[in-house]
Every structure is written in C-alpha cells, then in structure tokens.
Amino acid sequence: MAELVNMNNIFWRGACVGITGITGSLGTALSKELLRPEYNISRLVGISRKWQDQDRLRKELGDNDRLRLFIGDIRDIDRLRLALDGVEYLVHAAAIKSVPACWYNPTEAVSINGQGTINVLQAARDAGVKRVIVISSDKAVAPASGNLYGATKAVCESVTVSYNNYSASRQTRYAVARYGNVVGSSGSVVPLFINQRENGKLTITHPKMTRFWITMSEAVHFVIQSMESMLGGEIFVPHLPSSRITTLASAIAPGLEIETIGIRPGEKLHEVMLTPDEAPRTKDLGWAYRVEPQERTWGGLPYIGGSPVPADWVYSSASATRLGEDELRGMLSKFV
C-alpha cells in the first residue's frame, strides 16, 4: 500500500531551520517538534545567549547530528550572519517578553526587541533565508500606556511587514505570528499562581481582567502552519479562547484566598488581538485570521482563501469564547 503524502514532509524535508532564542519556552518546544522524524529536516540552527541553557537543550533534544547551537546576541549582526548561513526557514523568537522587565530596563527592551529584530531581518536577507516568521504578542495591539514590551512588539510587527520591500528582488519573505498568553510558559501567571498556592493566598490585579490562552503545543503548530502558509507581509492570528483571571485562579487553587493588588503599569483590563483598523484587511482562514498589509509594494503572488470578518470587528479577550474551570484544568493538567 502506498504511503500517504504528509504535507510536513513535502515542505520541511531536507530543510535547514533556524530559531533565535532557541533555549526559551517556545524555542525549546519548537525544536522538539521539528526534530521529529516526520519533518525530516536536515539541520536545526539556534542562537541564544546562555551556554548553560544550550547544554540543557542539547541533553533534552539528544540529536547532536542535526543540532547546531551558536552562543550569540541578536544585537550582534555579524554573529547572526554567521549563524544563519545556509538557513532556509527562520523563526525569530528571541526577545525580552516581560512587561515589568521592559518597563524597568527600557534601553535594553528597545535594543533587543527593536534593533535586535532589525538585525535578524537584515541578516536573514543577507544570508538568503527563504522565509522568516517573527513571533509577536497580543500586547502589540494598541499597547497600553507604559507597556514598553507591547510598544516594541508593535514596532517589530511593522518593521517585519515593511522589510519585504527590502527583499523584493530577492527570495526572502517575512511574516508575523501574533498570539496570546502561553499556558505555563516562563514568567507567566500560571507558575506564579502555583508558587503562591503553597503560601495559602493568590494575588490578582483586577477581578474582571481577562486574557487569551494558548497551550505550548498549539503555539508550536500555529507557528509551523504560519510558516507553511505565508507569502510575505501577513500577520497571522489564531482562534483563541479567553478566561477571567479569577477563573484561572479558581482552577489552580479552588477556594483559596485571593487578594486584589491593582492593575500594574502597562497592563490592560482586556487584551485585543485584532482592532477595527485591521478588520477590513483581515480574512478568516478557518485555522487562523490573516491580516494583510495596507500596501504590498514588493509584489508577489496574491493572497488566496479566507472569508472577510465584519468591518468594525474587535477581537477581544472580553468577548472571545470563555473557558470554564474544567476546561482550564485540562489545559493546565501538566502543570498543576
């Protein structure tokens, strides 16, 4: 009996794949997925700053034949050019992702998230990378006052889309993957609540606050499908549910005392994934929304497929499909 065709094999077979920030939560999970036999990639190249984390990743992956790790900083464009030599598909996941850390370290936030991303885009062009996906966040959408993390990610999105102009005569194309909070990722509220549970009290910022949620497995497959689908200039946004923070707290620690400490600088009561300004340029692809660029001066194949969303639509965690405690517990099963 003939073997069924696997689209992953066709797209990824024999490819050299790169990941910036490879030792982070997404980078690690993405590496484990792409090194599975069905993708059949030829090489996985990663760049990150800590050799200790790279040693940990080598042991976790156990594939020294295909894994190539570079110690380096995305602010060093020469190091990036060296690391990306021969890479065909690149996921740019390196960033300072903490709202408080960016607020207290503004120059580092701008330098790493802003200039660092520009360096990645330029080095990818110089190295002849075919496709680049830049990881973004719902916090990039109309960032709240004081949220420097969201502001830097908004800049990254704009620069990524516009960088297609600089490679119009070359093969490199750029797109964005924008999504919400990853359940259990480092620095997220889930590990915080789990630690606080041991002390007998959880702290929340506001009882009506809502957030979008995505599992790490869903995030990995969303990034992979975005890479496979992109033509250049798109912002891909997944279909995500949301919940109140109080519901999450109850799912992790039922009946435990909850203290309200107030909204922190740069936080919103509700996150927004798509705005009315983007809605006229957005198509629902079934597996995700595709936000098309306002101008496409670099040309290329036309975007195909998808249904228009309402012209004044707002994709907000306040109105998205709500998760209950049982559903959240299912998503949290490996953490709590």
Catalytic residues: 139
The answer to whether 173 touches 230, Cβ cutoff 8 Å, is yes
With CA atoms as reference, report the closest residue to 117 among 143, 136, 104.
Answer: 136
HSE of 313 in the Cβ direction (CA atoms, 13 Å)? 18
The alpha carbons of the chain give a radius of gyration, in whole angstroms, of: 20
- For Cα atoms 62, 132, 67, give the angle at the middle one, nearest 5 degrees: 15
SS3 121: helix
DSSP structure string for 279-329: GGGEEE-SSEEEEPPS--TT--SPP---EEPPTT--EETTTSPBP-HHHHH
For 128, other C-beta atoms within 10 Å of its C-beta total 15
Q: For residues 254 and 120, what is the distance between their CA atoms, to the nearest angstrom?
A: 44
For 39, other C-beta atoms within 10 Å of its C-beta total 18
What is the identity of the amino acid at 165? N
Q: For residues 80 and 84, what is the distance between their CA atoms, to the nearest angstrom?
A: 6
